[in-house]
């Protein structure tokens, strides 16, 4: 086969120029700080509050998406009803819709005079400009992940196993809990981790609905932007590196999870 030299050359050059060198510059920037000033920046109360909100809201959004994602995948694979294909195609909307558009649309819905905010406000629930708004935005952008990881597993799931379980006297609930859920568990967990990782770095859809009040509704990516606007490049780089470390740990977790579920399936 010809072309290894040229394609590999293009790949490595382009990858280095566009991705690797710029990312290396980020890590290099933090080496201009002393360890204590790095730590001081990252452990600042405002930064810690932002990490708490980002991690907490991403976690809640991820859990909501895991529960409804599994239900949605199940309904799309197993049942036939009008509009099924339309819904199947629309599940990817959060991937295709620009995040700023999602942000302003959700804010206008959940603001106190919005379609949904108007209903929730009298009940004493405020969503826009509170941490709940952050959860709503992060749920929106993470919606496709669990559906799209669980769907193929459900399609491949052998019905005979369920029939065997039923013919051995298991109730439907037992079959679902003991046979089906363990099969889709690793895929759902992978989807959760992907949604969580995406939510952690998300910016555009959140900043409109969050209200961005210091110590209360600021997400971590916003703090990077604020530091940049103050021309505190090193501070921005330090927070960015802290975020990257968290994402890479998550990525590692996802890879281990996929390796583990592949091995499980191979031995099954």
Partner 1 sequence: MSETATIFTLPASRDPARAVGEGAVVRVLLIGAALGFVGLFLFIPLAAVFSQALAKGWSVYWTSLREPDALSAIRLTLLAAGIAVPCNLVFGVAAAWAIAKFNFRGKSILITLVDLPFAVSPVISGLVYVLLFGLQGWFGPWLSEHNIRIIFAVPGIVLATIFVTFPFVARELIPLMQAQGNEEEQAALSLGASGWKTFFRVTLPNIKWGLFYGVILCNARAMGEFGAVSVVSGHIRGLTNTMPLHVEILYNEYNFAAAFAVASILTMLALVTLGLKTLVEWKSRRQFAELSRDRREGGES
Q: Which two tokens stand for residue 158?
A: 């052998």
Residue 119 lies near partner 1 (rule: CB under 8 A): no
Residue 4 lies near partner 1 (rule: CB under 8 A): yes
How far apart CA 242 and CA 230 sit, in angstroms, is: 19
Residue 29 lies near partner 1 (rule: CB under 8 A): yes
Residue 93 lies near partner 1 (rule: CB under 8 A): yes
> With the CA atoms of 116, 121, 127 and 129 taken in that order, what torsion angle do they form, in degrees rounded to the nearest 10?
120
| Binding-residue pattern over the window 130 to 169 for partner 1, x denoting contact by CB under 8 A | ---------xx--x--------------xxx-xxx-xx--
Q: Which stretch binds partner 1 (CB under 8 A): 10-18, 127-135, 182-190, 260-268?
A: 10-18
Longest dimension (CA), the chain: 69
In the complex, least distance from residue 185 CB atom to partner 1, rounded to whole angstroms: 18
How far apart CA 193 and CA 188 sit, in angstroms, is: 9
Residue 109 lies near partner 1 (rule: CB under 8 A): yes
The candidate with the shortest Cα–Cα distance to 161, out of 185, 173, 149, 178, is 178
Residue 45 lies near partner 1 (rule: CB under 8 A): no
Residue 253 lies near partner 1 (rule: CB under 8 A): no
How far apart CA 267 and CA 240 sit, in angstroms, is: 41
Residue 82 lies near partner 1 (rule: CB under 8 A): no
Q: Which stretch binds partner 1 (CB under 8 A): 34-42, 44-52, 89-97, 256-264?
A: 89-97
| DSSP calls for 192-216 | HHHHHHHHHH--HHHHHHH---TTT
């Amino acid at each position: 086969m010809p072309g290894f030299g040229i394609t590999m050359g293009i790949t490595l050059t382009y990858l280095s120029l566009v991705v690797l060198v710029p990312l290396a510059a980020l890590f290099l920037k933090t080496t201009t700080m002393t360890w204590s000033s790095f730590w001081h920046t990252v452990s600042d109360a405002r930064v810690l509050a932002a990490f708490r909100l980002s991690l907490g809201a991403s976690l809640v959004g991820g859990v909501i998406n895991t529960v409804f994602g599994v239900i949605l995948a199940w309904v799309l694979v197993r049942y036939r009803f009008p509009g099924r294909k339309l819904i199947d195609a629309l599940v990817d909307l959060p991937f295709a819709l620009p995040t700023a558009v999602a942000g302003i649309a959700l804010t206008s819905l959940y603001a106190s005079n919005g379609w949904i905010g108007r209903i929730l406000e009298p009940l004493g629930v405020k969503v826009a400009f509170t941490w709940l708004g952050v959860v709503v935005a992060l749920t929106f952008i993470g919606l496709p992940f669990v559906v799209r990881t669980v769907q193929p597993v459900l399609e491949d799931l052998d019905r005979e196993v369920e029939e065997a379980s039923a013919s051995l006297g298991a109730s439907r609930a037992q079959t679902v809990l003991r046979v089906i859920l363990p099969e889709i568990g690793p895929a759902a967990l992978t989807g959760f981790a992907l949604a969580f990782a995406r939510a952690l770095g998300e910016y555009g859809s959140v900043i409109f609905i969050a209200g961005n009040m210091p110590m209360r509704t600021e997400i971590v990516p916003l703090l990077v932007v604020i530091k940049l606007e103050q021309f505190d490049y090193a501070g921005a780089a330090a927070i960015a590196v802290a975020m990257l470390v968290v994402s890479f740990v998550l990525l590692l977790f996802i890879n281990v999870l996929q390796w583990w579920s592949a091995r499980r399936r191979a031995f099954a």
